[in-house]
Structure 1
Amino acid sequence: MPRPTCSRCQRPLSHCLCALVPSLDSRTRVLILQHPSEVGHALNTARLAALGLRNAELRVGEVCDDLPALLAHSDYRACLLFPGEESVILSAYATDERPLLLVVPDGTWRKARKLLHMNPLLAALPRVSLDGAAPSRYRLRKAPEEGALSTIEAIATALDVLEAPHDFSALLRPFDALIEGQIAAMGEEVFIRNHQR
Structure 2
Amino acid sequence: MSRARCERCLRPIDHCLCALIPALDSRTRILILQHPSEANHALNTARLAALGLENAELRVGEVFEDLAHWLNRADYRVCLLFPGEGAGTLEARNADDKPLMLVVPDGTWRKARKLIHLNPILAALPRVVLTDAPPSRYRLRKAPGPDALSTLEAIVHALHTLEPESSFEALLRPFDALIDGQIRAMGEDTFRRNHSQVVDGDQPLSEEGMPG
Give the TM interval when normalised to the shorter protein.
over 0.9
For residues 117-174 of structure 1, what are the alpha-carbon distances to aligned partners after superposition, in whole Å with 9 as ceiling and x for unaligned? 0000011100011001001111001111231110000000000000012111101110
Give the equivalent residue in structure 2 for 1:63: 63
Deviation at 1:30, TM superposition (A): 0.4
What amino acid is aligned across from residue 39 of structure 1 in structure 2? A
User: What is the identity percentage for the equivalent residue pairs of Structure 1 and Structure 2?
Assistant: 70
For the residue of structure 1 that corresponds to 2:175, the secondary structure is helix
Query: In the alignment, does 2:82 pair up with 1:82?
Result: yes
TM-score (norm 1): 0.98
Mapped to 1, the partners of 2:184 and 2:82 lie a distance apart of 32
For residues 49-89 of structure 1, what are the alpha-carbon distances to aligned partners after superposition, in whole Å with 9 as ceiling and x for unaligned? 00000000000000111000000001101100012231111
Root-mean-square deviation (CA, aligned residues, Å) is 0.7
Q: Identify unmatched segments of 5+ residues in structure 2.
A: 198-212
Give the equivalent residue in structure 2 for 1:169: 169
Q: Identify unmatched segments of 5+ residues in structure 1.
A: none
Mapped to 2, the partners of 1:108 and 1:77 lie a distance apart of 26
Give the equivalent residue in structure 2 for 1:114: 114
For the residue of structure 2 that corresponds to 1:58, the secondary structure is strand
Counterparts in 2 of 1:85 and 1:145: CA distance versus 1, 3 Å:
farther
Query: In the alignment, does 2:50 pair up with 1:43?
Result: no
TM-score (norm 2): 0.92
For residues 95-127 of structure 1, what are the alpha-carbon distances to aligned partners after superposition, in whole Å with 9 as ceiling and x for unaligned? 210000000000001100000000000111000
Mapped to 2, the partners of 1:164 and 1:131 lie a distance apart of 14
What amino acid is aligned across from residue 184 of structure 1 in structure 2? R
Mapped to 1, the partners of 2:178 and 2:50 lie a distance apart of 16
Number of residue pairs the alignment of both structures matches = 197
Give the 5 Å matches for 1:26-41: 26-41=26-41
Stretch moving more, 182-191 or 80-89: 80-89
